[in-house]
Amino acid sequence: MATTNPFLQLAVLRADLERVEAELAAAVRAEDPFLTELASHLIRAGGKRVRPTLTLVAAGTRSATLTPASQAAVLGAVSVELVHLGSLYHDDVMDDATTRRTVESVNARWGNLRAILAGDYLLAKASEIAASLGTEVAGLLAATIGRLCEGQVLELEWAFDLRRSEESYFTSIAGKTASLLSTACRVGALVADLPRSQVDALSAFGHAYGMAFQIIDDVLDLVATEVELGKPAGHDLVEGVYTLPVIRALAGDAGPALRAHLGAPLDRAALDEAIAVVRDSGAVEASLATARSYADDARRAIEPFATTEAGAALVAATEALLASVTSVAPR
């Protein structure tokens, strides 16, 4: 929803994120000014910067108190954010999206071909930066890009299919969302040279946090307004992407009423009716309960860091994630 970052109350992280912004701008600066404009479009639009923040905070668990990040941690943060941005460019082409982060999407402004190439460029720059951080980070980022693709393809395979299962949904979001959030934490832990057990714990946090993050995002698509989201509400239903609340509504008493609207593209009236059915079915509340379960997993994963300022910040971020949906979800 709103482009806020719960970590920004920490002065040291605000300063580190300013360094990330500067490095992001530098990373996409090409000899061709037009390519620079394309590649920096969403960087200039801002965003929560959740993934780079997780990298910085994961690296910060090395000491009891957060201190300014190393240059390696900043570059690791840049690399994961560039992967995220590159995936957004490609997502917007697939969705024929017209806006992103309240600004005109790259594909809407300059066309699909340029958007695809710019997205490829961002992924290439991410890989170049990751390679400078060592073979393990480079291999990890490459594998993560593959998982992002796998998760997205699986989602596309089930488009407009009323038989989509919860298993398919969870597998898809583990790839398209949780994998990069887990990698963001793992990169931070690796560049900080943490013990392997701590690297794995932070990676597990990122995965669980990412699963909760995507479920909540999918709930918000059904219960929040376009102003709150910064993009059209109900977008997933329009694209035939049936997320956890929809899958659970279809499996319950509301199933027959919902099937009457789904399985094909929707007009505005049908979309509004379908959203109302899902909201009234109890599936939103059930989905939020699953998100809370993943959030609990995330908190348990970082118990070894409970006495550190970074660990406390990760717990606070998890609580803020759950709070983000409280004011708009039906009760």
How far lies 119's CA from each of 28, 45, 138, 204, 207, in Å? 11, 15, 18, 28, 24
Within-domain flag for 165: yes
The answer to whether residue 167 scores a pLDDT higher than 50 is yes
Within-domain flag for 226: yes
For residue 103, what pLDDT is reported? 86
Within-domain flag for 1: no
For residue 328, what pLDDT is reported? 59
Q: Looking at residue 250, which CATH number applies to its domain? A: 1.10.600.10
Of residues 105 and 130, more confidently modeled: 130
- Return mean pLDDT, the chain: 93
Span 214-232, mean pLDDT?
Answer: 84
Over residues 111-156, the pLDDT tens digits come to 999 999 999 999 999 999 999 999 999 999 999 999 999 999 999 9
Query: Using alpha carbons only, what angle is made at residue 87 by residues 80 and 75, rounded to the nearest 5 degrees?
Result: 15
Over residues 25-59, the pLDDT tens digits come to 999 999 999 999 999 999 999 888 999 999 999 99
For residue 96, what pLDDT is reported? 82
Within-domain flag for 179: yes
Q: 10 pLDDT band (50/70/90 cuts)?
A: confident
Within-domain flag for 331: no
Domain total in the chain = 1
For residue 327, what pLDDT is reported? 57
The pair of structure tokens assigned to 32 is 């061709």
Within-domain flag for 201: yes
The answer to whether residue 2 scores a pLDDT higher than 60 is no
For residue 3, what pLDDT is reported? 42
Within-domain flag for 222: yes
Within-domain flag for 36: yes
Domain that holds residue 233: 6-326
